[in-house]
């Protein structure tokens, strides 16, 4: 006999796992020293924290934290990470006990706030970086991409957490699983 359906009790740890990946992606994006933007000749790169130019064998690095826009980006990304960790803790605790819709919706709202904060930070950075640089061709690096990856995961999980309240009885195992295909 072949059945095709979703075993909700077995899949309830997928969401906290996704949030854990979002936390890891955020940490990689925030802590990356290799830069968020670099030029094609590898003579200039800029991370969230500093701006470096290679001059022969030496590099000339300056802190971006003197700029108000860079401090705003750092604050948005770090506050987003802190709220993301809080949402992960709420989600994990909720999944360890019997899941209820209240904590999951709270996690969804927190994740939407995280996605909004990080979206703003990830847009402010290239706009202001492009205002500072006029020469050369620049590319965004993998570290900047990890920031976007965390933001997209948070946005998707926020919608899922807000819509998951209708599946709580299935997740808890109180309701019978609906199968799409039964033979």
Nearest-10 crossing angle of helices 14-31, 68-96 = 160
The residues pairing with 3 across neighbouring beta strands, listed in sequence order, are 182
Model pLDDT, residue 101: 73
Q: What is the Cα 91 distance to its own chain's centre?
A: 16
Instruction: State the architecture of 3-35+68-182 in CATH terms.
Output: Up-down Bundle (1.20)
DSSP string, 33-49: SS-SEEETTSSEEE-SS
Q: What's the average model confidence in pLDDT over 78-101?
A: 88
How do residues 118-140 score in pLDDT, each as one tens digit?
Answer: 999 999 988 887 776 656 677 88
168 band by pLDDT with thresholds 50, 70 and 90:
low
Enter the pTM of the model.
Answer: 0.82
């Amino acid at each position: 006999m072949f059945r095709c359906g979703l075993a909700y009790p077995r899949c309830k740890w997928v969401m906290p796992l996704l949030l854990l990946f979002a936390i890891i992606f955020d940490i990689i994006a925030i802590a990356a020293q290799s830069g968020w933007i670099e030029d094609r000749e590898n003579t200039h790169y800029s991370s969230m924290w500093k701006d470096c130019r290679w001059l022969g064998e030496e590099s000339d690095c300056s802190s971006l934290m003197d700029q108000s826009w860079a401090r705003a980006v750092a604050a948005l990304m770090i506050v987003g990470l802190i709220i993301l960790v809080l949402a992960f803790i709420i989600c994990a605790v909720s999944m360890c006990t019997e899941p209820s819709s209240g904590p999951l919706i709270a996690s969804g709202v927190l994740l939407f706030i995280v996605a909004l904060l990080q979206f703003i930070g990830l847009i402010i950075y290239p706009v202001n970086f492009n205002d500072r640089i006029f020469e050369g061709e620049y590319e965004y690096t993998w570290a900047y991409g990890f920031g976007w990856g965390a933001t997209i995961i948070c946005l998707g999980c926020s919608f899922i957490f807000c819509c998951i309240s209708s599946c709580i009885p299935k997740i808890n195992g109180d309701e019978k699983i609906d199968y799409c295909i039964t033979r």
